[in-house]
Structure formats: C-alpha cells, structure tokens
Amino acid sequence: METVTFTRMKDCTKEDFALIDAAEQKHAAGLVDRVLVVLRALKDEPMPLQVDRLEHCLQCATRAHREGADEELVVAALLHDIGDELAPYNHCELAAAVLRPYVSEQTYWIVKYHGVFQAHYYGSHPGMDINARDRYRDSPHYEACLEFCEKWDQESFDPAYQSLPVEFFEPMVRRVFAREPFKHDREVVGA
C-alpha cells in the first residue's frame, strides 16, 4: 500500500492529500455496511425490556413506514438508537452525527434530541425533569420530534407487535447513505 511522505500534518503535500482522500472515500463507501452491523448488534444488548434494542428500532421504523413517513425519517427511526453501543450516556448525539451528512436538518435534530423528548414518559422515576423538552419549544423541529417520540419511539417496546425485518429496510438505508452529503456538513467533511 502506498503511504504518504509526511510525519507531521503541516508537511502534507497535494499528492499526500490526494492519497488520503482516495482512502477516505473508499472507507466512507463502506459506512452503510458498518452501520448495519452496529444496528444488528443491538440484538445482543442485554436489557430488561420485553424486546431487545434491535426489535425496538425495527418497531419504530415499521411504525413510521406504515404511517407513511418519508424514507429518510423511516431510516432515522431505524437507526435512532445505534449510538447505544458506544455512547450509552449520549447515544442520541452519536446516532445524529452518523446520520447528519445524509439527512435534513429536521431529521438530524429529531435524532439528536429524541432522548430529551423520551424522558417525558419515564423521567419522573429517576427524578428527571419530564418537561425538559419544553426548552426546545421555539425550535421549528419541536413538533416533529414530539410526534416521533409519541407515535413511534415510546410505543415500540411491544413483544406482540409484528415489525418488518432489517432486510426490508436495508435498501432504504443504502439509498439514504448513498446521497451526496448535505451542504450543512461540507465544511466538516472538507468538500
């Protein structure tokens, strides 16, 4: 494998950068496969719920799909908890960061803040502010996140619910991740 000439980033040449960029493009092309591996790994996440975390995500996505949500939002419903594997205390932010280059600002916002909105349903038990979501009331995405949590996220812990399998959603995930990254992230990804 060809390698760069520098040992300090400030010594990077145009040719070095082209080599790095080509490798990063190849790595980025495999992102969807890695995301699907992480999603499937939620099945092995032990929790005292009546369904595992994968089934929870499948139920969210199935509900969204059956209610006619657009493909981007169905994919977000499927992947909204993938951050649980690596970021149990800020899983929403991690999942949102993975999705951000490929989804609208609203979908990104819903995934990023769904945990605050979900706390409305259970937060009184550990002493949390169940109305913490109200601090976002002025956001143009507030109602959409409220609806996401009310209709899909908090509803999806039912062992009797007939959810669709990962394979049903996989083409949708691949289409969303095949999109050209949205402009709001071009500065971050260097485009």
Check residue 45 and give its pLDDT: 75
Domain locations in the chain as residue ranges? 13-183
Asked whether the whole model's pTM tops 0.85, one would answer: yes
Check residue 44 and give its pLDDT: 86
CB atoms within 10 A of CB 68: 8
Contacts of 94 (CB under 8 A, 6+ apart): 82, 83, 86, 87
Class of domain 13-183: mainly alpha
Contacts of 174 (CB under 8 A, 6+ apart): 32
Check residue 184 and give its pLDDT: 56
Contacts of 64-69 with CB under 8 Å at 24 or more apart are 64/152, 65/164, 65/169, 67/151, 67/152
Give counts: helices (H), strands (E), the chain: 9, 0
191 residues of the chain, pLDDT tens digit each: 899 999 999 999 999 999 999 999 999 889 999 999 999 999 987 789 999 999 999 999 999 999 999 999 999 999 999 999 899 999 999 999 999 999 999 999 999 999 999 999 999 999 999 999 999 999 999 999 999 999 999 999 999 999 999 999 999 999 999 998 876 544 444 44
C-alpha radius of gyration, the chain, whole number: 19
CA distance 135 to 97: 22
Three-state SS string over 71-112 comes to HHHHHHHHHCCHHHHCCCCCHHHHHHHHHHHHCCHHHHHHHH
Check residue 181 and give its pLDDT: 83
Check residue 15 and give its pLDDT: 93
Our measurement of the distance from residue 135's CA atom to the centroid of its chain's CA atoms, rounded to an integer in Å, reads 22
